[in-house]
Amino acid sequence: MAWTATSTLCCRLIRLPSARCPPPSLARCSATSAARSPDAVDIEYADLNLRPLYPIRGQHLRIRQHVNPLSSSFSEPTEPPEWKEVFEDPLLPLMIDIGCGSGRFLIWLAKNSDQRRNYLGLEIRQKLVERTQFWVNELGLRNVYFMYANATVSFEQIISSYPGPLSLVSILCPDPHFKKRHHKRRVLQPPLVDSITKNLCLGGQVLIQSDILEVAADMRKRFDGYSDILAHVDRVDKDLHCDNEGWLLDNPMGIRTEREIHAELEGATIYRRMYQKIRDASH
Ligand SMILES: C[S@@+](CC[C@H](N)C(=O)[O-])C[C@H]1O[C@@H](n2cnc3c(N)ncnc32)[C@H](O)[C@@H]1O
């Protein structure tokens, strides 16, 4: 779904597919998108077979639509976990998804990707993280872990303790915080861009995307500023193509995120960039 007042309402209560009939509070949602979006998400992630793990019919997971990352409760970095307790092999290359939402995207990759990697999701809404980690435990996956954290202030501390290389960071459809005075609430702030760029291993990649051009352009401007260290992937991989404006034409991950599914269902364009680290800052 596109970022409109309607989608704001729709997101306030994340409804699970067992109860698709919108209550009166969601009456402003378009009947079509309210009915089809959860189906589309279920279809995309069908092979995870999470349905039996959803709450039973009539019980909804009530999740706040937004939290304010600038509130005092989110000002301190979250402590990193004991890596050997959360991953079977904590030396594997790591992918971090910043603002991972429901986590289905990362769980799908952890189950289906042919890369030998660990996957870490950072998410500021605690209930989402609790549900996702419940799914991970039920599925018995030992290469994916979700943390309740404000990524903006916690990323550096978390990644600097990880014993393996950081091979991929994704920031996919972050909250737009449209008003100019709220831009400082956006997850991607200069210290985070700096930390991602510094901590990526050589050859490591960053994927950014949004269905809001202004948000995608804001992220792009920040990473384009590191052109001495990061190259856009179409320069290093001739199979990856961009449009005339430099946006990647295709999703390189083989799976869409939930926001991406909703946005495409509404006919929105996804603006993507993917960078690769080509040298260390010191060179
Ligand atoms: C629009 S959702 C997109 C979720 C997912 N990436 C997708 O594409 O479907 C953005 C997510 O980022 C989370 N988020 C926002 N600010 C954050 C922060 N500072 N640290 C971690 N997560 C954050 C929100 O709670 C929300 O789940």
Q: Using N-to-C axis directions, what is the helix angle for 151-160 and 190-199, rounded to 10°? A: 20
CATH code where residue 120 lies: 3.40.50.150
Average pLDDT over residues 48-64: 73
Distance 282 CA to ligand 1 centre (A): 32
Does residue 2 belong to any structural domain of this protein?
no
Catalytic residue among 47, 175, 228, 237: 175
Who wins on pLDDT, 201 or 24?
201
- Cβ atoms within 10 Å, residue 21: 8
Confidence band for 9, pLDDT divided at 50, 70 and 90: very low
Does residue 81 belong to any structural domain of this protein?
yes
**Number of domains forming the structure of the chain:** 1
Is 47 tagged catalytic? no
User: Which residues form the domain of 236?
Assistant: 69-277
Predicted local distance difference test score (pLDDT) of residue 64: 73
DSSP string, 70-119: TSGGGSSPPPPP-HHHH-S-TTS-EEEEET-TTSHHHHHHHHH-SS--EE
Predicted local distance difference test score (pLDDT) of residue 56: 60
CA atoms within 13 A on the CB side of 282: 2
Does residue 160 belong to any structural domain of this protein?
yes
**pLDDT of 7 over the 50 cut:** no
Distance 174 CA to ligand 1 centre (A): 5
- Mean residue pLDDT across the chain: 87
- Cα(196)–Cα(274) distance, integer angstroms: 13
Does residue 114 belong to any structural domain of this protein?
yes
**pLDDT of 283 over the 70 cut:** no
130-141: per-residue pLDDT in tens? Answer: 999 999 999 999
- Cα(236)–Cα(111) distance, integer angstroms: 28
Q: What angle do CA 36, 144, 44 make, to 5 degrees?
A: 20
**pLDDT of 111 over the 70 cut:** yes
Number of residues assigned to the chain:
283
Distance 238 CA to ligand 1 centre (A): 31
**pTM to 2 decimal places:** 0.88
237-277: per-residue pLDDT in tens? Answer: 999 999 999 999 999 999 999 999 999 999 999 999 999 99
Does residue 142 belong to any structural domain of this protein?
yes
Does residue 282 belong to any structural domain of this protein?
no
Confidence band for 66, pLDDT divided at 50, 70 and 90: confident
Residue 41: both structure tokens together: 């998400």
**pLDDT of 170 over the 50 cut:** yes
Average pLDDT over residues 4-20: 31
Take atom 10 of ligand 1 and give the residue whose Cα is closest: 174
Does residue 283 belong to any structural domain of this protein?
no
Does residue 14 belong to any structural domain of this protein?
no
Q: State which ligand 1 atom lies nearest to the alpha carbon of 66.
A: 25
